[in-house]
Structure 1
Amino acid sequence: MASIWSKFALAGVVAAAVGAGVAYALTKPDPHPASYWAGLAAPDLSHGEVLFWAGGCASCHAAAGAQGEALKVLSGGRALPTAFGTFHVPNISSDPQAGIGGWTLAQFGDAMTRGVGAKGEHLYPSFPYGSYARMTREDINDLFGYLKSLPASDAIAPPHALNFPFNMRIAVGGWKLLYFSDAPRVDLAEAGDAVKRGQYLVEGPGHCGECHTPRNVLGGFQAGQWLAGGPNPEGEGRIPDITPGSQSIGQWSEEEIVTYLETGFTPDFDSVGGSMVEVQQNLAHLPKSDLQAIAAYLKAVPAR
């Protein structure tokens, strides 16, 4: 009888080991192959600057209250309070030790599009790589080149202060398995060029859905609620629905949306407020054709 139980115990151990191996294989960090980042031309720094503003890099990585050229000193350090704990934004300046000046394009690109850090670790999705995953490798190259041209800072951000079990990076692999995808958020395959450009900007570098889409208890987007608004993931208040079904922005014309993104003024002459102030100021740097594309996309997405 003891021998039978020993066999059962051994089988259980083997099954557990196999299960753990399968789980790790499904959830381990998954960077692009090195060849993906090879063979790119010299970065276009002027285009990299457009992507810098489209991606709102300064809104998180510059010092709070920074203005003008200080917005380009990406020293990090801001605290992002969430239900999972407090994240501290890292230094992404050109400093080779404190920032990303010593990184390779592959390291930067895998962080941006795969959520994999320079040491091969999972990155927390407080960094919106779930959106940046839609960016092309050429755009990543241009953005990286531009960031390396900006001033260096030797500031070191505090470590994240997260609640258990969210302080275990291995759990991020499970989150990615459930929610990480580089597929389009909505099917607009038959749309025109302007809408497709808007889709790229909104779903990719602009990462608008990171705030404007409601999340479930694990921090994943709620299915079928793309851009439908919801509780502010970083604090009090609500982020508005920006689909055509809303009773505010959804009723604006495309030209009114463009004017809002250019100037910060709504159709009834109110002004942008809250966390959208920095977003609008960033987007105002984009060419008008890109703002028109964003507006076209927002009128094309499904109403909620």
Structure 2
Amino acid sequence: MRLWLIAVMAAPALAGAAFATLHFWPIGKPEVIGNLTGDPGRGAYLARMSGCIACHTNSAEGGKPLAGGVRLPTGFGTFYSPNLTTDPDHGIGNWTIAEFAAALRQGISPEGEPYYPSFPYPFYSSLSDQDIADLWAAFKTVPPVASASKPHDMMPPFNLRAGLKVWRALYYDPEPYTPDPERSDLWNRGKFIVEGPAHCGACHTPRNLLGARQAEMALHGAEKLPDGGKAPPVTRAALLERGWTVNTLKYALQSGIMQDGDVFGGSMAEVVRDGTAFLTDEDRAAMATYLLERDK
């Protein structure tokens, strides 16, 4: 009985010690970009490719570009995209390029806190230093919007941000982009876009109970998306079975019109409207080529 009482009395202290350990557990590494000159035009193109406009512009409520506020309901709670304008108080106006790089490639805030994986930073780890410099140059041109980011509304225990450090230790394994020397330049460009900035796997890969992507099922489709819909498989076999070709898939990424004459709906319609429709024809061809020529 005494041991039981001691255990009960000690539990809060042990829990507090564990939480304190998580809070002070350091994550990430320093980002050194160097003295690179960014190209804002190329950065704006990368921002379109990366889905920044769709996720951080609340078009449904007349929000200003990149001012945030897009609602993303999930089984863990509701996320709201933050303000990415140059406002110094509510946006990223006071950030440094190193902090910008750490946010994009490591999912770490300027305060050293982990971002929720609703922000697809695992995919952005493929961005080069020059990509970061170009994106930074583009974001510096965005007019400031003095609108505070809405805080996430998460269910316990997911509202404890420090717990994300455990999630990262279990599931976050960033991989820089490495081209396949045995494949064509077009295929490798498609791999970079699909597996990197365009983060296709964020929606088209199933997730486990803790919201981590099941790597062995990459691009095999997923259900229960935040908008209530589901994403079909976009593996080579699945695409070929449904009659897709490089030309029809390339055209669909430009127009939203599918190979059977129907149109994309839900979040995929937004991907086309705010993202892939702005890409070059060659980049859309690269995406289609990679998806239709992947080994799995």
Alignment of 1:179-218 (within 5 A): 179-183=171-175, 188=180, 190-218=182-210
Aligned with residue 55 of structure 1, among 46, 50, 56: 50
For the pair 1:270 / 2:262, whether they are aligned, the reply is: yes
Indicate the percent of aligned positions where both proteins have the same amino acid. 37
Amino acid at match of 2:285: Q
What's the offset of the Cα at 1:249?
7.5
Q: TM-score of the superposition, structure 2-length normalised? A: 0.87
Structure 2 counterpart of 1:43, from 35, 38, 41: 38
CA distance in 2, matches of 1:268, 1:194: 26
Instruction: Give, in whole Å, the separation in 2 of the partners of 1:140 and 1:127.
Output: 16
- Which whole-Å CA distance do the structure 2 matches of 1:178 and 1:225 have between them? 17
1:192 positional shift? 1.9
| Counterpart contact for 2:221–2:232, Cα < 8 Å | yes
Please give the residue correspondences for 1:121-200 in structure 2 after superposition, counting only pairs within 5 Å: 121-183=113-175, 188=180, 190-200=182-192
Greater CA deviation, 293-302 or 101-110?
293-302
Backbone CA RMSD of aligned residues: 2.9
- Does the 8 A contact of 1:81 with 1:87 survive in 2? yes
Match of 2:290 in 1: 297
Superposed displacement of residue 153, structure 1: 0.7
Q: Separation in 1 of the partners of 2:143 and 2:241?
A: 37
Amino acid paired to 2:57: A
Contact map agreement 2:27 2:165 (CA 8 A) in 1? no
Q: Equivalents in 2 of 1:128, 1:138: separation in Å? A: 19
Q: TM-score, normalised by structure 1?
A: 0.84
Larger CA deviation: 229-238 vs 94-103: 229-238
CA drift at 1:227: 0.6
Match of 1:31? 28
Q: What's the CA shift for 1:65?
A: 2.9
Q: CA deviation at 1:256?
A: 1.0
2:80 aligned partner, one-letter code: H
Cα distance in 2 for partners of 1:185, 1:243 equals 20
Unaligned runs of 5+ in 2: 1-13
Where does residue 286 of structure 1 map in the other structure? Answer: 279
Count of residues in correspondence between the two structures: 283
Q: Contact (CA 8 Å) 1:250, 1:299: kept in 2 or not?
A: no
Q: Is the 8 A contact 2:67 2:85 kept in 1?
A: yes
Q: In 2, Cα distance between the equivalents of 1:257 and 1:219?
A: 29
Question: Per-residue displacement from partner, 1:158-180 (whole Å, max 9, x unpaired)?
Answer: 21111111111111111111111
**Unaligned segments of structure 1, at least 5 residues:** 1-15
Is 1:254 the equivalent of 2:246? yes
Deviations 1:135-176 (A, max 9, x none): 112101111110110121111122111111111111111111
| Inter-CA distance 184–107: structure 2 relative to 1 (3 Å threshold) | closer
SS in structure 2 opposite 1:267? coil
Q: Is the contact between residue 243 and residue 250 of structure 1 (CA under 8 Å) also seen in structure 2?
A: no
Which secondary structure does the structure 1 equivalent of 2:42 belong to? helix
The letter for the 2-side match of 1:60 is C
Tell me which amino acid in the other structure corresponds to 1:118.
P
Distance change >3 Å, CA 150–CA 185, structure 1 → 2 = closer
Residues 245 and 185 of structure 1, relative CA distance in 2, 3 Å threshold: farther
- Counterpart-to-counterpart distance in 2, 1:220 and 1:298: 22
